[in-house]
Amino acid sequence: MPLVPKISVITVNTATGKSITLQDTTGVYNVTTNPGGYGTPNYATTDLDWALLWFRNYKDTTYTKQKLTSLISILGSGQAIAGFTDGIFDDGTWEVKYYPVVAHPVTPGVDTAITWTVGSKVFNLASADTLLAGVSAILVKNLSEEILYFLDPDIPATNTQATVTEVLPSAGTGNVAFAYEADTRFLETYAADNCIATKTGLIVKECSCFDPEMQKLYLMMGKREGATIHFVEKQNYQAAHDLITQIASYCDNTSKCSC
């Protein structure tokens, strides 16, 4: 079995919404318990040269992308990632894609060249069907260390060629790197939790219209619990996202949290 990386969200700072911690949890190769782990016959962690991280809130259609030039933290106790909107992660469900990159996929320290016809999605690589097992995308690393060309899942690689889903760059030749893929999700609840706390404080200290406002608070708290259930137990990430963003929207205007 080829390398199958895993990525986990270790912590989500919901108190401030300012950071999360990611950890590569692939583990060590074991023929029985972890055949997708690092180590012979798969690549070792020392074969990795950098990694790409893609983040997308469920309200967005595009990813925020980062390159990790050092993998010490993410392969160790965890890599801290700061929020993207004024240093804060927007509330809702987030998708995380992790692409560890092997820059010398055939011989350690030696570049591997590929060629292709300009305007084509097909590239030439000896033993492509073997080398690309488990690979999600390639990079033409001498042109860009961040642009991924995803392998076409509908066109199997042959012994000499493989196909990607987008047209390759106009150079016609370059040095290849391999990217593997893992993904995970996390639920950011900072704004929603802050809204519930604010409304609770106003009801207890200031509100005279206790009954209707308390009913609104119960509804918010019920949605908050429902979001956790959808995310953790049902893995219905869209439903969790919808509930959390609904709660957060109640406090877009602070007057909505008072009577």
Taking only the tens place, the pLDDT of each residue in 3-33 is: 999 999 999 999 999 999 999 999 999 999 9
Residue among 237, 213, 258, 200 at smallest CA distance from 58:
237
Instruction: Please report the pLDDT score of residue 1 as a whole number.
Output: 75
Q: What is the DSSP letter of 229?
A: I
Q: What is the DSSP letter of 107?
A: B
Instruction: Please report the pLDDT score of residue 23 as a whole number.
Output: 98
For 35, what's the count of Cα atoms within 13 Å in the CB-facing half-sphere?
5
C-beta neighbour count of 123 within 10 angstroms: 24
pLDDT value at 259 more than 50:
no
For residues 70-91, average pLDDT: 97
* pTM, 2 dp: 0.93
Instruction: Please report the pLDDT score of residue 216 as a whole number.
Output: 81
Q: What is the DSSP letter of 4?
A: -
Residue among 145, 143, 62, 58 at smallest CA distance from 99:
145
Residue among 39, 37, 69, 40 at smallest CA distance from 53:
69
User: Tens digit of pLDDT for each residue in 198-222?
Assistant: 888 776 666 555 567 777 888 899 9
User: Tens digit of pLDDT for each residue in 187-196?
Assistant: 999 999 998 9
